[in-house]
Amino acid sequence: MKTPVYLDYAATTPCDPLVIDVLTSCLSLEGNFANPASRSHFYGWQAEAAVEKARKQVANLLNADTREIVWTSGATEANNLAIKGAALACSAKGKHIICSRAEHKAVIDSVNFLEEQGFSVTWINPEKTGEVSLTAIEKAVQPDTVLISAMHVNNETGAITNIQAIAEFAHSNGILFHVDAAQSAGKLVIDTAQIKVDMISVCAHKVYGPKGVGALYVRKQAGFSLPAQIHGGGHEQGMRSGTLPTHQIAAMGAAFELADSILEQEFQKLSEFKAIFLKHVMQHKCVILNGSVEGAVPGIVNLTFKGVDGQVLLSALPMLAISSGSACNSATVSPSHVLTSMGVSEQEALSALRFSFGRFTTKEEVEFAADSLVNVLNKLAV
């Protein structure tokens, strides 16, 4: 390998060539560059049509209505809009929130903010597999619980949570349910006609689209009005003001449509890659899988290397672009909050690395990564 093998798809994905074509076609004078809110001329109508086409493409992936899709700058903003907005909208009914300790920081910090504003929070730990269990949520419910937030697929371990079961419980108890689906959209089927989730956060850059754009699904029958967190011109049904970036939105739509069309094919390919990788590396005595094989998406593998410092191991693998955990935490040396919430010791959490495969990963790269890892472990492991 002449350049490092990219195995950090859980942090971000490169744009698909088809998506790049759509993106660039909305930038120049000859393209679809106009402000979608400029409804007094042809160029604005054209841009608005591109935005609405993309809204339909995103809605189709979720089997949703286009009126349920609100554009944001990414999943982080979508999480903030959903959690803060829903809590404020329902504060007269109650001020208790249930949230998993394994969530992305965008969710955890939003809930922490609400706690500072007088809301009470019950933090629940996931199972050892990484899944957030319905049983734990049921035990945490109080008479004034108004919101539950749990991610569909964990960004560090790939653990899948049964959001349908939680949604049914929340719905039957009159509690709003928010799901961070940044890691599952385009990788697992999310059918909002079957799964009665009230709000779903998604973004483009985990699905081979550009960074800086995302969306929040808000179920039209949820029975509440979501107050804006960003105010201005009243765009997006008054829920999110700001000039819409036609190029990013059109590209996100194209990315979601493409992901929808090859979802099963990609799932199978990544499952094969995960099996090859684990078969090779799990034979080493110091390797421990964090989570489970069956209960996680195939594109993410989180491993602890007992007796080996994670940062040392990372430095010893310069030809592998991998992560010590969530990209948002990679600058710190503290143990992963996700792993420790699963019961992994701080020492073992500090020796963990995340490998994530994607659309452009090849079998040769997977085999190279496994060989490289085992070779280094043979030198470092005691």
Mark whether 328 is an active-site residue. Answer: yes
Contact predicate 273/293, CB 8 Å: no
Q: By CB neighbour count within 10 A (0-12 exposed, 13-18 middle, 19+ buried), where does 43 fall? A: middle
**Nearest to 163, CA basis, from 129, 218, 127, 200:** 200
SS3 label, residue 124 = strand
Task: Give the Cα-Cα-Cα angle 215, 218, 221 (nearest 5 degrees).
Answer: 160
The 10 Å Cβ neighbour count of residue 4 is 13
**Distance spanning both ends of the chain, measured CA to CA:** 28
CB atoms within 10 A of CB 244: 20
- The span from the CA of 153 to the CA of 151, in Å, is 6
Given a contact cutoff of 8 angstroms between Cβ atoms, the answer to whether 154 and 129 are in contact is no
**Structural contact between residues 131 and 338, judged by C-beta atoms closer than 8 angstroms:** no
Alpha-carbon span 79 to 147, nearest angstrom:
13
Catalytic position from the list 15, 203, 286, 328: 328
- Please check whether residue 344 is in contact with residue 352, taking contact to mean a CB–CB distance below 8 angstroms: yes
Under 8 Å between Cβ of 176 and 196: no
Q: Which residues pair with 8 in a beta bridge?
A: 356
Give CA–CA dist 335/17, Å, rounded: 37
Q: Dump the DSSP string for 83-103.
A: HHHHHHHTTTT--EEEEETTS
- CB-neighbour burial class of residue 299 (10 A; exposed 0-12, middle 13-18, buried 19+): buried
Q: Alpha helix (H) ranges present in 230-309? A: 246-261, 263-281
Active site residues: 328
